[in-house]
Each structure stands twice: as structure tokens, then as C-alpha cells.
């Protein structure tokens, strides 16, 4: 005797396989909240590069901004 809520055919989830774990993306989409500090870092790099005449510090700000976006994309996968 079967109850109305329980059928004999049950839905089963596919087993987790190593192939499914390999297909996971390395990077996800970036959050919209990461763009505020990134744009601020780009603006700072522009100001430091033009007014401050320091290309070294400007490039450091750009690298930090890129690392920030890549880290956010990595954690959002």
C-alpha cells in the first residue's frame, strides 16, 4: 500500500562525480559593489600619474584595482 504523497518512483539526484567538479568555472561575475573602490583606485592612479608625475605609484594603484576585481571574481565562482 502506498500513501498518496509517496510514489514508487522517486526522483534521484545524479551522483556527484569528479567530472562535475572539474567543470566548475574558475571565475564568476564580479559584484557591482567592487566597482566603487576600483573606480576610485583608477581615479587615484590618474591623479597621481598626471599631477604627481609618478608613473610607478600610478601603476601600483592600477595593479591593486585589477587584483581586487580578479579576487572578487574568484570568490564569486
Q: Distance between CA 30 and CA 27 in Å, rounded?
A: 9
What are φ and ψ of residue 65, in 5° steps?
A: -65, -45
How far apart CA 62 and CA 41 sit, in angstroms, is 7
Chain segment 46-75, per-residue pLDDT in tens? 999 999 899 999 999 999 999 999 999 999
pTM here is 0.67
CA angle 32, 37, 52 (to 5 degrees): 145
pLDDT of residue 12: 60
Average pLDDT over residues 40-45: 97
> What ranges do the domains of the chain cover?
34-75
Closest CA to 60 of 72, 77, 42: 42
Amino acid at each position: 500500500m502506498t500513501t498518496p504523497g509517496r510514489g514508487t518512483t522517486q526522483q534521484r539526484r545524479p551522483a556527484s562525480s569528479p567530472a562535475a567538479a572539474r567543470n566548475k568555472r574558475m571565475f564568476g561575475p564580479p559584484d557591482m559593489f567592487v566597482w566603487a573602490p576600483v573606480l576610485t583606485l583608477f581615479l587615484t592612479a590618474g591623479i597621481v600619474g598626471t599631477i604627481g608625475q609618478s608613473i610607478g605609484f600610478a601603476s601600483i594603484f592600477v595593479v591593486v584595482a585589477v587584483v581586487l576585481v580578479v579576487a572578487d571574481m574568484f570568490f564569486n565562482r
